[in-house]
Amino acid sequence: MFRSIITIAFVLILQVLDAQTTVSGQVIEKPGLPIIGANIFIEGSYDGSVSDESGYFSFTTSLTGEQTISVSYLGYESKTMTADIGEMSGLTIKLRESASTLDAVEISASTFKAGDNSKLAVLKPLDMVTTAGSMGDVMAAIQSLPGTQSNPDDGRLFVRGGDASETQIFIDGMRVFSPYTRTIQGTPSRGRFSPFLFKGVSFSTGGYDAEFGQALSGVLDMNTIDEPNQTETNISLMTVGLALGHTKKKEKSSISFSASYIDLTPYYWLAPTRLDFNTPFRGFSGELVHRYKLGDGLLKTYIAGDMSLFNINVNDLNTGLPGTFDLNNINGYINSTYTSFLTEKTSYKLGAAYGINRDRSKFDEFDLDTDLDGLHLKANLKTVFSDFLIFDYGVDLISISDGNRTALGTTILDERATDRMIPGVFGSLDYFINKNLAFNLGLRYEHNSLMGTNEIDPRLTLAYKLGKNSQMSAAYGQYNQEVNPEFTRGITVLNEKSRHYLLNYNYKDEKSIIRLEGYYKDYLDLVTFEERDFTFQDVANQGSGRAYGFDAFWRSSKLIKYMDFWVSYSWLNNERQHRDFPTFATPAFSTTHNLSVVTKRWFENLKSQLGVTYAMTSGRPYDDPHTPAFMTERSGLFHNVSVSWAYLISQQKILFASVSNLPRFRNEFGYRYADAPDATGRYASELIRPNDDSFFFVGFFITMSTDKMKNQLDSL
């Protein structure tokens, strides 16, 4: 009996063993390079194994029929295959390195990012406002990066030979139609934005993505904070005014606002200016960001508004007579974006933005009123097919209305408006051939209802990882931008165009960041005209130009203990024949050499942070009508040493002081001439100098936060 039971059990075991199938094979990344420790298993079961030192694996299973085997390994893209279990022996399974790994190449050309989500970030978000001389202005801090031309008497962003209108500003991907405050000639404009509400920026000096249109030279995209850390209040008492900020954090929503009142009257009592003010600059501004978790997505709304005015006495070079110039400005902007997921692999972002700007200016009895209304709608989708294939695509619509009214006393001299709509469609494909080689292929289409033009702009970026810490990128892009509406009234003209060619090298480790880039930019279809009797005649698209140069950037935070610094240098050769230029020449805003050195050091014993910024710019071109050559004169070198000091009185109280051009260099920007000569054949002229040789700022900053630890030191 016992022997019979043993025999039956033995037979049953043999039958079970005979019913099992062996699954075997090798896991490799390249021919001859095995992957050790890869996990292999049959989905929906516990049957599986791990590859050995030669990449081989083998295990048995009692499953039959069609099954799916899954193979995965950290840093590599998982792979599945489905077949009859009897055919799963002697397999060769090749895995690709995942493009989502930390050391994978990043597709980026000519873009400076501030934030923690980019492997190529060169600035941290707070660096935007901790730069000495920036006075808390994001635009001024951006000018410490290569690719920009410093124009201290203007303040706007001039990028690689392009004027300020060729660089577009965005907030959360939505266009800002009037990003700068209004000032008079010789006083730099400021950005309208509080740095405390933004988590970072992406600044591109060329080769930007197909998502962005209507920009010939550059794009600055600023991103508001998604989720604040805590409830807090910030109070600022300054030599130029007052400011208040508050953030309230709730479970599903949060709201942040900042408001400021600026009045330069007390400042000019202490530090007289060359300007003859009747009413110095006064302005009130406010911003608000509201965030709400709606379903699986995030709804963000940004609102900003400001009012400013000033009145000044000026001299007219053409008449030699004094006059009074008065300006009142009202600006408003709102955008709202909603981000969520359509499917597990597809996210979407819907956005709407609307902006207005009203300028009411008066020179003696001559009135000039300008109005701007802008609307931007966008729907953007992103589908991640795999670690190696990502598709960004969408549509947008820009609608702009410009109005101008000129009058002499009660007599209206001219009144007209220009309306147009610019719908666009865009798409870009990121494809990672492997973790070291990738490309982005983009295409953008736009139609301009005013000019009846249709533009198709292709864009391509290649990126190759040279080693653990370095990579190279090359890019080509075509861009178009509508011409200034003042040239299109009753005249058919085309969009102005540019083509970018870029070659970029990036190196980044724990101690340093190095960026080197060469570029060449073609300008096509630039507007040309002749100005006669204060009107534009013979307007056409017959102009062209070229800008080429080299940018270098080096940053190190650990070379010297407690010290952080970066060095930027740009060399630019820029010539164009456009507008009323009689020949090819360098525009007045363009400079050949631009150098910026920014340093910051924390002194633990003194509880102080010292910042020093040195800026040098070569001479700016200007035209002397007494000479036969055009735009061949050059101003002297521009030098500026700015110093800032922040003292931590207590954990939440800070005393801050900053001085621009501390040595008081006598900078100048060439000469300004009258439009016509006098009876002796000479043109009246005046030396163009900054309205103030230096500017000082003192502030006392108080923070009240939930944890009683937060302060504004990193934001000064």
Q: Which of 103-112, 286-295, 615-624 has the lowest mean pLDDT?
A: 103-112
Q: Is the pLDDT of residue 647 over 90?
A: no
Paired with 123 in beta bridges are: 114
Q: How far apart are the first and last CA of the chain?
A: 93
Banded pLDDT at 114 (limits 50, 70, 90): very low
Sign, CA dihedral 135-139-143-145, equals: positive
> What secondary structure letter does DSSP report for 211?
T
Can you read off the two tokens belonging to residue 27? Answer: 């896991």
Banded pLDDT at 380 (limits 50, 70, 90): very high
Mean pLDDT of 437-448: 93
Indicate the domain borders of the chain.
2-94, 111-220+245-715
Q: Could you tell me which of 20, 62, 55, 21 has the C-alpha nearest to residue 40?
A: 55
Residue tagged 């001024």 (tokens): 140
Can you read off the two tokens belonging to residue 111? Answer: 């873009």
Q: Decide which of 2.60.40.1120, 2.30.130.10, 2.40.30.160, 3.40.50.1400 is the CATH code for 2-94.
A: 2.60.40.1120
**What 3-state class would DSSP assign to 171?**
strand
Distance between CA atoms of residues 176 and 374, nearest Å: 8
**What 3-state class would DSSP assign to 450?**
coil
Q: What CATH number labels 111-220+245-715?
A: 2.40.170.20
Cβ count within 10 A of residue 185 = 11
Mean pLDDT of 612-624: 93
pLDDT, residue 307, reads 94
pLDDT, residue 4, reads 54
Q: Are 547 and 523 in contact (CB under 8 A)?
A: yes
Quote the mean pLDDT of the chain: 85
Distance between CA atoms of residues 578 and 531, nearest Å: 12
Q: Is the pLDDT of residue 116 over 70?
A: no
Q: Are 239 and 697 in contact (CB under 8 A)?
A: yes
Instruction: Encode pLDDT of 178-230 as tens digits.
Output: 998 888 766 777 788 877 777 777 788 888 889 999 999 999 888 888 888 78
Q: Are 216 and 166 in contact (CB under 8 A)?
A: yes
Amino acid at 488: T
H helix intervals, 51-143:
138-142
Most confident of 1-10, 176-185, 585-594: 585-594
CA contacts within 13 A on the Cβ side of 409:
1
Instruction: Encode pLDDT of 117-131 as tens digits.
Output: 343 344 554 555 556
Could you tell me the CA-to-CA distances from 570 to 548, 594, 605 in Å, in that order? 11, 5, 37
Higher per-residue pLDDT: 14 or 65? 65
pLDDT, residue 273, reads 84
CA contacts within 13 A on the Cβ side of 221:
17
Q: Are 250 and 270 in contact (CB under 8 A)?
A: no
Instruction: Encode pLDDT of 269-322 as tens digits.
Output: 888 888 888 988 899 999 999 999 988 889 999 999 999 999 999 888 888 888
Banded pLDDT at 369 (limits 50, 70, 90): very high
Distance between CA atoms of residues 492 and 489, nearest Å: 8
- Quick one: which H or E segment has residue 704? strand 695-705
pLDDT, residue 189, reads 77
- Percent of the chain's residues with pLDDT above 70: 89
pLDDT, residue 6, reads 54
Can you read off the two tokens belonging to residue 447? Answer: 């139609």
Q: Quote the pTM value.
A: 0.83
Banded pLDDT at 110 (limits 50, 70, 90): low
Mean pLDDT of 361-371: 89
pLDDT, residue 120, reads 39
Higher per-residue pLDDT: 609 or 574? 574
pLDDT, residue 100, reads 57
pLDDT, residue 77, reads 77
pLDDT, residue 516, reads 92
Banded pLDDT at 87 (limits 50, 70, 90): confident
pLDDT, residue 41, reads 87
Q: Is the pLDDT of residue 596 over 50?
A: yes
Distance between CA atoms of residues 639 and 669, nearest Å: 12
Q: Is the pLDDT of residue 668 over 70?
A: yes
∠ CA 236-237-242, rounded to 5°: 80
Q: For the chain, how many helices (H) and strands (E)?
A: 3, 39
pLDDT, residue 106, reads 61
Distance between CA atoms of residues 254 and 226, nearest Å: 9
